Amino acid sequence: MNENKKLTQTAIISFIIAVICFAAMLGMIYASEKSFYSGYFGGMSVSYLIVRILISVLVGIIVFLLPLERIWQKANDAMKYLGSIMTIGKNAAQESQAVFTVIIYAVLCGLSVAFHIHTQPEYANGSGFYGPFGYRSALVYDGIVIVLAFAVIFMGMDIIQTRWRKLLYWELVSLACVTSVYAVTGEHDLVISIICAEFCMYIVYMKSANELKTSTSLVALVCSTVMVLACYADMFTGSRISGNKLLDKKHSIGYVPEEFFEHRYSLTIIKEQFGTAGCVIWFVLFAVFTAAVVVSVVKLIKQSPKRGAFVAGMYAIPAVLLIYTILAELGILAQAETYIFTYETAIPCMILSLRMFFDRDEDRKIDRGNVVNFRRNR
């Protein structure tokens, strides 16, 4: 009981620190871009921005209050039932359950892509709309698909007993996830970040469950690399323009170049508006944000490898995205396309990550039982 109380306290403290840092980083991006693009866009008023953030917080609170354990169990029972009616024998039923889980998730991904295309004006001859969440609906769809992917992955970890089958299951879910995200957004940097995050999750989970082996890790690395190159083969050969060159161009021509509107140069804009000191402050905030997440994840993994890996994966996406953005703005990689932070998805995901720390005893029993069963069947 004391251990759970300490974990909860650590989670709350880390969450408060992360929220403060996130708010400061988001505020710097918003303020710098508003000033940089002054005269080009009408921009969002502060009141409008506050209302949208409050809506995102409300969505996060709803997710926090949902009976996630009960939903998880009902979904798991449904997959077990599908597996049992199609096969005979416990092992065959478990394998069928994993197959049905992947198929159903892939179908959901396909439906999300179809709905997104249906609601976009460019695919509907001007008769469509931007979806129920406005012009950033694609990001909301992607957030849902990614969270579901993480949940589906760990559902499979409960039923699959061998390392190689776990790896195959993991890669199939990852493939369905990144394919749907790329089909919806076409943003290569976001897809690369998801692939890297899912690889990090795999390493963290398998290590914490004492199942990590060099052979499966190397195969997972190769699979992730192949998916990255398949999604964006021009990462190193595509259009590469550094932020400094664009700023020089802006100063010479007297107006903002088109590249700033077509791609993301958030850090370059912060540097232009707030100077080098502004960039240093932004990275310090991100470092503190990272430290808060790492400390909390390390403690959570001891209680539940699944939940710890889930939180690590949720953080890894913006972390990898930031690394890509830095390299792109230095002119090393192709230009970035995705916002580093978007409150519509980041705030609910942060609150969902906090929810992972409010553990249930049955979750720890499941995690430990899986390790015991694996060792028996190895």
In eight-state DSSP terms, residue 153 is H
Strand, coil or helix: 126: coil
At 80 the pLDDT is 75
The residue ranking higher by pLDDT, 170 or 87, is 170
H helices present in the chain, as ranges: 2-36, 46-65, 68-86, 90-118, 137-157, 163-185, 188-208, 214-231, 243-253, 259-262, 266-303, 305-329, 343-355, 361-377
Of 118, 116, 140, 120, residue with least CA distance to 129: 120
Tell me the three state secondary structure of residue 41: strand
Average the pLDDT over 167-195 and give the result: 87
Which pLDDT does position 281 carry in this prediction? Answer: 94
Give residue 199's pLDDT band: very low, low, confident or very high (50, 70, 90): very high
Tokens in use for 25?
């980083």
Q: Minimal CA–CA distance to 48: which of 60, 32, 30, 62?
A: 30
Asked if the model's pLDDT at residue 89 lies above 60, the reply is: no
Q: pLDDT category, 113, cuts 50, 70, 90?
A: confident
Average pLDDT of the residues in 301-307:
84
Task: Give the number of other CB atoms < 10 A from CB of residue 313.
Answer: 27
Tokens coding 269: 């804009």
Residues 180-190: tens digit of each pLDDT: 888 887 788 88
Of the candidates 152, 84, 93, which has an alpha carbon nearest to the alpha carbon of residue 306? 152
Residue 89 is which amino acid?
A: G
Which of 90-104, 228-242, 271-285, 351-365 is the least confident region? 351-365
Tell me the domain boundaries of the chain.
2-371
Alpha-carbon Rg for the chain, nearest whole angstrom, is 22
Residue 360 has a pLDDT of 53
Residue 136: predicted pLDDT: 61
Distances (CA, A) of 306 to 36, 172, 185, 254, 311: 42, 18, 28, 53, 9
pTM of this prediction? 0.81
Overall average pLDDT of the 267-284 stretch: 91
Distance of CA 370 to the CA centre of its chain: 25
371 CB-near residues (< 8 Å, 6+ apart):
209, 210, 211
CA–CA separation, 7 and 239 (whole Å): 46
